[in-house]
Amino acid sequence: MYMYSQYRIQLREVKVKKQKYITLTRRSLFAASVLFASLVHAEVVVVVGAKSTTSSLSKEQASDIFLGKATALTPLDQPESSSLRDDFYSKVTGKTAAQAKSYWAKLSFTGKGTPPKEAQSSTDIKNLVSNNPKLIGYIEKSAVDSSVKILFSAQ
């Protein structure tokens, strides 16, 4: 009987150690995935056409333009389903894309503003801003070419 009890105690200790190991492994994997996800996000840049006279913007100025508080340039948004849109709004305005949409719905309803027009892609935004000096948009830094000029880079 004594040997059986010792065996059960040892077995229980092994199970506890195994459970701690599994928990530690899961936590490590979760932490690694969160870190990796934060590294995967593309760098977002605010752009205008290469011929635009605007040369740079601060974070506050970019935020003001995309929240309708400044009207010098007409903003273009990425598609609502784009993860770049979420990154942009969180990095530049401090709002989620959903909060920005709600903000614009309120302004539209009260007649105090019109939300940015939604483009189909970064390529679409590049084409539109390169042909109209009054337009401004945001794209992945990797998509920048000679047709556009970077005004602000959101880290």
Q: What distance, in Å, lies between the first and last C-alpha atoms of the chain?
A: 66
DSSP code for 41:
S
Do residue 70 and residue 101 come from a single domain?
yes
The first and second tokens of residue 136, run together, are 């401004």
Do residue 97 and residue 150 come from a single domain?
yes
Do residue 32 and residue 104 come from a single domain?
no
In this prediction, residue 155 carries a pLDDT of 78
The first and second tokens of residue 31, run together, are 């932490």
Do residue 80 and residue 149 come from a single domain?
yes
Do residue 32 and residue 48 come from a single domain?
no
The C-alpha atoms of residue 88 and residue 77 are separated, in whole angstroms, by 10
Consecutive sets of 10 residues in the chain, 155 residues long: mean pLDDT of each?
A: 67 73 66 49 90 94 95 95 94 95 94 94 97 96 96 91
Number of domains forming the structure of the chain: 2
- For the entire predicted model, the pTM comes to 0.73
The C-alpha atoms of residue 69 and residue 71 are separated, in whole angstroms, by 7
Do residue 3 and residue 55 come from a single domain?
no
Helix intervals (H) in 2-82: 2-40, 59-66
In this prediction, residue 39 carries a pLDDT of 44
Do residue 27 and residue 74 come from a single domain?
no
Nearest partner of 41 among 123, 142, 117, judged by Cα: 142
Complete edge-to-edge strand list for the sheet that includes strand 117-118: 117-118, 74-77, 135-140, 44-49, 148-154
Do residue 76 and residue 138 come from a single domain?
yes
Could you tell me the CATH number of the domain that includes residue 94?
3.40.190.10
The C-alpha atoms of residue 137 and residue 118 are separated, in whole angstroms, by 10
Do residue 149 and residue 79 come from a single domain?
yes
Q: Which domain holds residue 102?
A: 44-154
Do residue 144 and residue 75 come from a single domain?
yes
Do residue 95 and residue 72 come from a single domain?
yes
